[in-house]
Amino acid sequence: MKAIEALSRAMTSEATIIRNGEKKRIQAVQIVPGDLVLLQSGDKVPADLRLIQTRELQIDESALTGESVPVQKEKAVLNSDMAIGDRRNMAYSSTLVTFGSGRGIVVAIGDSTEIGRINKLIAATDVLETPLTRKIHDFSGILLYAILAMAAFTFVIGLVRGQDLVDIFMASVALAVGAIPEGLPAAITITLAIGVSRMAKRNAIIRKLPAVETLGSTMIICSDKTGTLTQNQMTVQDIVAGGHRYAISGVGYHAEGKITPGENSFDTTANMSLHALLKAGLLCNDSTLKRDGERWRVEGDPTEGALIVSAMKAGYDLNVLEQEMPRLDTIPFESARQYMATLHDQGEGKPRLLFVKGSMITPSLPVPSHVRSGFAVTPVHIIPERC
C-alpha cells in the first residue's frame, strides 16, 4: 500500500501558471478556474483551457478524440456548437503539447473537463452478465436453497430421533459443507482457459474469460469503423485545376487508381494546370512514400503522403522530377503563414519555378533572395478525405 501511495505521489503533474500577476509552478490539482496556464512543448495540459495566445502550438489529442495526428491550435473565436475535435481554440485536460507554445485560461477542472465526463460515463456503465455467468448465478441460487433445505431436514430428523443437539448441528453443518461443489469454479475456469488458448491460436485475444462463451454464441457482430478500422491513411479524391474538377479513384497509399475528368472538364492530358498542380503536390513536399512488404507507408505528414500518391496515379515519378527540377530553397510550413513553398531550377535558360501549397496564398509571398529570373506560383487546391 505504501509503495502504491509513493508511486501516486511521484506521478503527480505540475503546471506553470500566472496567478495575481506572478508566474509560479504548482501541482496540477491546485489549479482553479480562471488561472492563466502557460503551455510549451512536452507539457501535459492540466485542465480544459480557452487559448488566448498561441505560437505554432500543436497538441496531441489522441487520448480524447482518437486523432493520431497532432492538432494545430489557434486563438480565434469559433462557433460554440462545433465538435470537440474541431474546437481548435481549446486545449483539453490530459492531452500533450507536441510543438510550440501558448497560453490559456482554465474553464473547467476535475470531473467538469471533457476527459472527466468520459471517466464518469465509464464508471457509471453497468457490467453486463454473459449467458454463462447468469446460468451459474441461477444454479448457485438453486443449489444454496437445496443445501439449506437438506441441512434443515437433517436437523429435524435428528431432533425426532432424540439425538444430542451438538451432534445434530455438527452433522447438519458437515452435510452443508460437503454438498458445496468446490471444484465447480475451478472446472469452469479451466474450461474457459482452454477456449481462450484456442482463440489465441487464431489471433483473437480475450481479456475476460466469460467472453469466450459469449463470443461462441454470437450470431452477428457490428463494429464501428472509427479507431479500430481506421488505417490513418489520407486519400486525395477530388482535384480542382484550371476551373475544372477531376475525380481520383483508389484509396490509401497504393498508387492504384486513375484520374477521371468530371462533367464538362478537359481531358487529363489537355489540362496543363492539372499537371502543374500534381507536380506542385509532389515537389513541394517533405514526406516520402516507402514500400513495406505488401503495404505502403508514409514517412512524414499523412496529407503530404496523399499528394505524393495522387501524382503517382498520373504517372509521375518523384526521383525523375527531382532530377529534372532540383530544389534550390524551401520556405517551411508555419502556422503564421499557413503555406509551404519550394523553389526549383528548370534548367539553363528557363525561369526558376516556385511551388506553393497551403490554405493562405497571398500576393506578398516572400521570394528567396537568390532568385534572379522570373518565377511562377502554382497554388494547390486538393480536397483530402480519410479512408
Query: Which residues are the active-site residues?
Result: 224
Cβ-count burial 328-340 (b if 16+ within 10 Å, e if not) = eeebebeeebebb
Determine the angle formed by the axes of helices 272-283 and 302-313, rounding to 10 degrees. 140
Instruction: Report the phi/psi class of residue 331: left, alpha or beta, with left for phi > 0 and alpha for psi in -120 to 50.
Output: beta
**61 grid coordinates:** 489529442
Q: How many residues does the chain have?
A: 387
User: What does R_g of the chain's alpha carbons equal in angstroms?
Assistant: 33
Mode of pairing for the β-strands spanning 36-40 and 14-19: antiparallel
- Cα–Cα distance, 356 to 380 (Å, whole number): 7
Cβ-count burial 255-273 (b if 16+ within 10 Å, e if not) = bebebebeeebbebeebee
Which one, of 46, 43, 47, lies nearest residue 57 by Cα? 43
User: Helix, strand or coil for residue 123?
Assistant: helix
User: Helix, strand or coil for residue 50?
Assistant: strand
- CA torsion 271-276-278-284 (nearest 10°) is -170
CA within 13 Å, CB half, 334? 7
DSSP 8-state symbol, 85? G
